[in-house]
Every structure is written in C-alpha cells, then in structure tokens.
C-alpha cells in the first residue's frame, strides 16, 4: 500500500473530497501498542527516522480525529475545518507523546485534538479588543497556561497561575477570559446563538467523546487479534 501523505488541511473544500479523504484514512493500517512504543521512541530520537515514525503514528490515528471532530459540528466551522484543526492537534500529540507513562497514544492525543478544535471554534467567535495595558499580562499568562497544559495535560486554575506568575488573581481571570487569541470565552457565538465557548468547553460531550474514541480504538485492537 502506498504511503498516505499527511496533510494539516484537506485542500479541496467539497463533500466529494471529504468522502475520498475518509476512505483513504480508513485504509491506513492500525498499529499495536508495542509499535506505538517503538514509534514514540523513534520520534524522540529525531532525524529522518523520527519524522517517518511521526507520520506513521499520525496516519494510524487520523480516523479518530474524525470521531472527535463530529462532536463539535454546528459551532461555526464545517466538518472539514474541524478535521483540519484536529489533525494539527494530533500532530502535536505525536511530537509530545511519552510512552513511558503507561497509556495508549490515542487516549493522550484526544486532549490535544479537542484543544486544537476548541481554539479554532474560539477564533470564529466574537473577538474582544483588549486595552494595551492588559496585553502584557495576557501574554505572560498565556505563556504560563501553555507551559502548564503541556506539563499536566489540563488547564490550570486561577490560583495556580497566580502562584506561578505573581500576577493578581483578578487580572488572571480577565486574561484567561480573553485567552485564545483574545477571545471572550463567555461571549455568544452569534446574535441568534446563546451558546458560548464556556458551554462548549464544559460540555459533558468531552468525556463521552473520550469514551467513544477509546471504545473505537479497542474495537480496532480486537479486530487485529
């Protein structure tokens, strides 16, 4: 089978191209947990072999991005756009995955896929213009948020950020509300839509999405036995 070329975006924006893409990624062979470990180790070593390993790990899990992306339809982005953004998150996960922590790659990658999709949804929502005197604090807080999320795979609390940055908790709250390219997470998506980023991020669909992906991954594992 020819190698599937990994792309961050599906270039032709039509249903026929999307259908073709879905068929193509469905043909990519799955990998075992043992192969996941080998690929993660190769990625960490870097070089051309590491790049090939990353492509292989991403290829085998592209179908799961679609499963996650479908949960976030009708929030301002097409399914194709959601898949594009999810693929970016999947690639980031492949670059950061630590196989020594004892869990499957896709269980780790779902978080990155979802965060990438949520950020894209936020960028489509109402943009908030911040006063210049808040931009410095915002940048400092955003850097610390990104660092904390990479270390802990979760979003930090206001108290944790204040302790790490020395910034007042009230200013932290203001900055967090405007984080993600200066987007207000409690602003409605549109004039006729009462839903906001808070609603999406707090949705119980997140845990259901994780379970669905885990179940799908388990089913694929069983089919290989």
Domain-by-domain residue ranges, the chain? 1-125+204-225, 128-182
User: Using one digit for the tens of pLDDT, what is the confidence trace for 114-129?
Assistant: 999 988 887 766 434 4
Q: Which residue has the tokens 């679609």?
A: 66
Query: pTM for this one?
Result: 0.58
Roughly how many angstroms between the first and final C-alpha of the chain, as a whole number?
21
The structure tokens listed for 168 are 């007042």
% of the chain exceeding 70 in pLDDT: 64
Higher pLDDT residue, 182 or 31?
31
Helix, strand or coil, per DSSP, at residue 104: coil
CATH class of 1-125+204-225: mainly alpha
User: Using one digit for the tens of pLDDT, what is the confidence trace for 31-61?
Assistant: 999 999 999 999 999 999 999 999 999 999 9
Q: Which of 148, 74, 62 is closest to 113 using CA atoms?
A: 62
Residues present in the chain in total:
225
Cα dihedral 161, 167, 169, 170 in deg (nearest 10): -130
pLDDT recorded at residue 99: 93
CATH number attached to the domain at 128-182 = 1.10.10
């Amino acid at each position: 089978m020819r190698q599937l070329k990994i792309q961050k975006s599906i270039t032709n924006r039509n249903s026929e191209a999307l259908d073709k893409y879905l068929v193509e990624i469905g043909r990519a062979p799955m990998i075992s947990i043992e192969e996941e470990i080998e690929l993660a180790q190769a990625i960490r070593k870097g070089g051309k072999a590491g790049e090939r390993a990353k492509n292989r790990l991403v290829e085998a899990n592209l179908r799961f991005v679609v499963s996650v992306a479908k949960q976030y339809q009708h929030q301002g982005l097409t399914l194709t756009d959601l898949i594009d953004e999810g693929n970016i998150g999947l690639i980031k996960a492949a670059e950061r995955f630590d196989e020594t922590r004892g869990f499957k790659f896709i269980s780790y990658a779902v978080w990155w896929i979802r965060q990438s999709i949520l950020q894209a949804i936020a960028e489509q929502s109402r943009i908030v213009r911040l006063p210049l005197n808040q931009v410095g604090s915002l940048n400092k807080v955003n850097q610390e948020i990104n660092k904390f999320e990479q270390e802990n795979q979760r979003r930090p609390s206001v108290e944790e950020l204040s302790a790490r940055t020395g910034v007042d908790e009230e200013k932290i709250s203001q900055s967090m509300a405007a984080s993600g390219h200066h987007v207000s997470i409690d602003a409605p998506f549109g004039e006729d839509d009462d839903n906001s980023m808070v609603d999406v991020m707090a949705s119980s669909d997140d845990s259901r999405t994780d379970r669905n992906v885990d179940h799908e991954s388990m089913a694929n594992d069983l089919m290989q036995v």
